[in-house]
Amino acid sequence: MVCKVEKTSKGDEAKSYLLKNKKGMEIVVSDYGATLIQVKVPDREGNLLDVVLGYDKIEGYENGGVFFGATVGRIANRIGGACFELNGKEYQLTKNDNKNTLHGGRDFYSQRMWQVEKEDEAEITFVLNSPDGDQGFPGNLDIHVTYALTEENELKIHYYAVSDQDTIVNLTNHSYFNLSGHASGTAMDQQVMILADAFTEADAESIPTGKIIPVEGTPMDFRQMKAIGRDIEEKYEALILGGGYDHNWVLNGEGFRHVASMYSEKTGITMKVYTDLPGMQFYTGNFVEEEQGKEGAVYQKRNGVCFETQYFPDAIHKEHFGGPVLKAGETYDTMTVYKFE
């Protein structure tokens, strides 16, 4: 149901929608950017706690540069050199991250009005048509993003897209989680596990070099639960270049599976991440600074962390990475689930 209506700076009517389940969990999503605004989960005492960073008003999402709760595309993460070749033709993209493209360039999907295709108490589907040439990419792309809240306290995000030309697609959600509560300060004391034996090495501009590095014996090893902050200041090249964790992990296994967990000792809340995708960017909010957030909170560096399920960054330039080419008429169809316990 609609729980809030606001006007954007362009005069569009942005609506926020509330989904609830019988266990008391609630999420709020907006048709502005198909954005996840709020995730309220019961803590060990049964109190509802909002565990994602965000803004109170639509202006925050219009003006913010850190992608709180954003649906990101047409290609999430980075494309080196802001160009790529497909079927013998070169495509030029917007440079918005040094000489590279980040999250599709400057005309972000997260700052556009999406249409609501259907909605009920448990789920809502947003649609966006991204025309041929949009952000520099080929093909008219019809995108559906469905948020669903189950009685098992699962937040399901289903991405579905079809193009009339060969193109490249890699959609993700950029929510920042803090399981002690969005306004509780640092998330570095919370524990994380990532079921990945390797990560993709990246250069100083966060573009993968093509090398896949085992996590064994490095601060990148999250195969057992550990405090996020335990190794983050290690003098390890990947951490120095990224200013902390901001890397793509090569997820173990195939198909839809459990790939990561997060836990807060303070609240007793656990979140498990499931996906059918091969990679996940684990980002520790290294570049968030003095961000005016919800309920008077001012977010700082490392106050929340992202689990961005994805095809590997810059995969269009690295054949052995696989993904993200979508053939004309075929379907991009992927699911990510955040389950709270």
Supply the residues annotated as catalytic: 174, 308
- Name the nearest CA neighbour of 190 among 200, 178, 204, 208: 178
In whole angstroms, give the CA distance from residue 170 to residue 77. Answer: 8
Q: Respond yes or no on whether the N-terminal peptide bond of residue 302 is cis (omega within 30° of 0).
A: no
Neighbours of 323 (CB within 10 A): 18
Side chain identity at residue 257, one-letter code: R
Both tokens of 29, joined, read 């999503």
In whole angstroms, give the CA distance from residue 43 to residue 58. Answer: 28
- Name the nearest CA neighbour of 237 among 273, 201, 263: 201
In whole angstroms, give the CA distance from residue 220 to residue 199. Answer: 8
Neighbours of 235 (CB within 10 A): 7
